[in-house]
Structure 1
Amino acid sequence: MSASTSAARQSQPQPSIEPILRLTAADMGRVNDMILAMAGSNVKLIPEIAEHLIASGGKRLRPMLTIASALAYGYQGESHVKLAASVEFMHTATLLHDDVVDESDLRRGRKTARTIWGNQASVLVGDFLLGQAFKMMVEVGSPPALRILSNASAVIAEGEVWQLSAAKRMSTTEDDYLAVIDAKTAALFAAATEVGPVLADAGEAACTAMRTYGRSLGIAFQLVDDILDYGGSSADLGKNTGDDFREGKITLPVIIAYQQGNEAERAFWRRAMEEGQNDDAALSEATALLQGRGALEETVARARHYGHLAFEAAATLPPSASRDALTSVVEFCIDRVN
């Protein structure tokens, strides 16, 4: 980046999620109260683990998207609060399960629940949170919303298994990987936004627009995370940088670099990802290869493509603070790699 480009960028307002924070503040206060209440149990270990993860931070973006999408179509009831809490519980449960599968020690700079209480307790509390999520969904009494969120839960689990089967396999293709993140990450974003117009009875076109918005945002969000793993910060990622590499996760930048690399470079990737030769020196070499083959830039381009799809979907909304908030989330997501 040139000095003039950098100066111009610094003079412009940086993308922020502040618009959606302002828009959803009152409702998210009620969501947070509901999360704490539904995480309660006479079994002491359940609230301990749930509150540990809840207190570890995170933007709570997915439930905010549920609130914003409902408000965007003029919804004035109370059910969006319960569905937003359900979405957050679904996400929290997947984090607990992910940390066990990935053998992660840190999340957002804090010890993961599995390192404190063990894998068994983490998995079981994740299951408890999923149960509470479905309890709230049923209480809302909207069969279409229940169908959307329950289907997302099944798709997410399928994506987790698919990712596990693809781990440490350099034969994974770009299409394979996009299918994994479509299921593992984008499905919950899509469901979180689609239930808003469902509650508002806004019609099929609105549901399609919000489903497209959420899915596209979710894919872009994951691709940006893939890039940041090789050069971002732990604060941006919510985990240690380089974790994907050390865990042998075949992400899009790696797939692109492997496909474009020479035989020596491909041999390096096989040693690192398939055979576990992934120390700090190997991470430095991997980052250099990704940069040398333009893999990070190509992944940025893919993320921007999906971001554009999300923009187009949001543009179908009538002008409102909700539309501005949803658009700002896309801008913020993509700007993390700038």
Structure 2
Amino acid sequence: MSATIHRLGGGPAPSLDPMMALVAQDMNLVNAVILDRMQSEIPLIPELAGHLIAGGGKRMRPMLTLAAARLLNYPGTRHHRLAAAVEFIHTATLLHDDVVDSSDLRRGRRTANIIWGNPASVLVGDFLFSKSFELMVESESLKALHILSNASAVIAEGEVNQLTAVRRLDLGEERYLDIIGAKTAALFAAACRIAAVVAERSEAEELALDAYGRNLGIAFQLVDDAIDYVSDAGTMGKDAGDDFREGKMTLPVILAYARGDEAARAFWKDAISGHRNSDADFAEAIKLVQASRSVDDTLARARHYGQRAIDSLGIFANGTAKDAMVEAVEFAVARAY
């Protein structure tokens, strides 16, 4: 019998603490690799990279690689370099995203592009991408290299897809899910799957971990998109209403527009086209999103994908690692409550 998302309606709040405790020793080794490989004779590179890497992120993606390796009882060390590669890919995409989105805040701190400028952020992102491939090659697994390099390409495709969908009121839920499946879930999936590759486990276990990561990634992004309409910058680590002002058709907006009356639809047309982006307009957007129950339904979908992630672990033996991975899903979904 698989576990279920059972704590979201009450009981102790889910936490990442069990997963962090599970992988703490391995994470110290991964952090050492990250610190070593972000060094350069060009001082700006470690300075800028360190600003983001040391910026308070939970390192969830590399933690997933390490947790999956624990789930499989993998005794080796090849996953440490791969986990560092995962973090470098993620960090590089954040640097590039903040330039594309003209973001001011990341994890509650000023973004690198605001401090050092767009050119430096893009180029250091390129440096980190290059380092990630260096680490992949050192893992001596052609299959892991294929999985992570493909994920990097899919992430870029997802970001371009999102860019071309900005301020498009005709964006439907299906394309939205394609976008977040690429820009967010692909790296979650790859991070989990590569553990099975280096542990030389069956394809069934590879695919189970891929499904776990992919569904967790979709749930994670759905919650992020919902939080933009229910939270503040302190909670999110970014400016409240960023998605709204950037004209992003996230699921809460897609649903609110579809369900809106004539006046609500007129508002969304003006807002998404960029003509209504004041604080008062954002307050109106929150009111419309909540009145249409679009946030509730976005979070319901997140719970659905979270449950699919948990169900994907059904083929693995029960134990501390599996429990931690289940609770990580519960935590990802519960962030909005």
Please classify the TM superposition score into its range, dividing by the shorter chain length. over 0.9
Q: Secondary structure of 1:14's partner? A: coil
The yes-or-no answer on 1:25 pairing with 2:24 is yes
Aligned to 1:327: 326
Q: Give the structure 1 partner of residue 39 of structure 2.
A: 40
Map 1:313-324 to 2 at 5 A.
Answer: 313-324=312-323
Tell me the equivalent position of 1:88.
87
Structure 2 CA distance, aligned partners of 1:102 and 1:11? 36
Matched residue type, 1:81: H
Return the alpha-carbon distance in structure 2 between the equivalents of residues 313 and 124 of structure 1.
38
In the other structure, the counterpart of 1:282 is 281
Paired residues of 2:109 and 2:237 also in contact (CA < 8 A)? no
Pairing 1:53–2:49 present = no
Q: Distance in 2 between matches of 1:212 and 1:236?
A: 28
Deviation string, structure 1 residues 163-209 (Cα, Å, up to 9, x no partner): 00001111100001000000000000000000111111110110110
Does the 8 A contact of 1:162 with 1:180 survive in 2?
A: yes
Distance 1:183 1:282 in 2: 30
How many pairs align? Answer: 331
After superposition, the Cα gap between the structure-2 partners of 1:304 and 1:11, relative to the gap in structure 1 and judged at 3 Å, is: closer
How much does 1:334 deviate? 1.0
Equivalent position SS for 2:315:
coil
Matched with 1:337 is 336
For 1:173, the aligned partner's letter is G
- Tell me how far 1:12 sits from its aligned partner: 2.5
Find the residue that maps to 2:41 and give its secondary structure.
coil
TM-score, normalisation: structure 1: 0.96
Q: Deviations over 1:221-254 (max 9, x none)?
A: 0000011101124344221221111111110000
Please give the per-residue CA displacement for 1:232-285, whole angstroms capped at 9, x wherever unaligned: 243442212211111111100000000111121111011111134111000110
Partner letter of residue 78 of structure 2? S
**Does residue 62 of the first structure (1) align with residue 61 of the second (2)?**
yes
In structure 2, distance between residues paired with 1:299 and 1:88 = 27
Between the aligned partners of 2:10 and 2:154, the Cα distance in structure 1 is 43
Write the letter of the residue equivalent to 1:231: V
Rounded Cα–Cα distance in structure 2 between residues aligned with 1:187 and 1:233: 27
Q: 2: CA distance between counterparts of 1:51 and 1:240?
A: 22
Does the CA-based 8 Å contact 1:58-1:238 persist in structure 2?
no
**Whole-Å separation in 2 of the counterparts to 1:279 and 1:319:** 51
Q: Which residue of 2 aligns with 1:295?
A: 294
Structure 1 gaps of 5+ residues are: 1-7
SS in 2 for 1:92: helix
Report 1:1-338 matches (<5 A): 12-338=11-337
For residues 11 and 335 of structure 1, the distance between their equivalents in structure 2, rounded to whole angstroms, comes to: 10
Report the identity percentage: 55
Matches of 1:141 and 1:9 in 2, distance apart?
41
The verdict on how the C-alpha distance between 1:57 and 1:9 changes in structure 2, with shifts beyond 3 A counting, is closer
TM-score, scaled to structure 2: 0.96
Q: Residues 236 and 83 from structure 1, CA distance in 2 versus in 1: closer, same or farther, beyond 3 angstroms?
A: farther
In the aligned structure 2, how far is the partner of 1:235 from the partner of 1:199?
A: 39
Is contact 2:39-2:45 (8 Å) kept?
yes
Letter in 1 for 2:319: S
Amino acid in structure 2 at the alignment position of 1:191:
A
**Residue type at the aligned position of 2:315:** T
More displaced stretch, 263-272 vs 217-226? 263-272
RMSD between aligned alpha carbons?
A: 1.4
User: What's the secondary structure of 1:216's corresponding residue?
Assistant: helix
Task: Write the deviation string for residues 26-71 of structure 1: whole angstroms up to 9, x where unpaired.
Answer: 0101111111110000011111100111121110000000001111
Cα shift at 1:336:
1.3
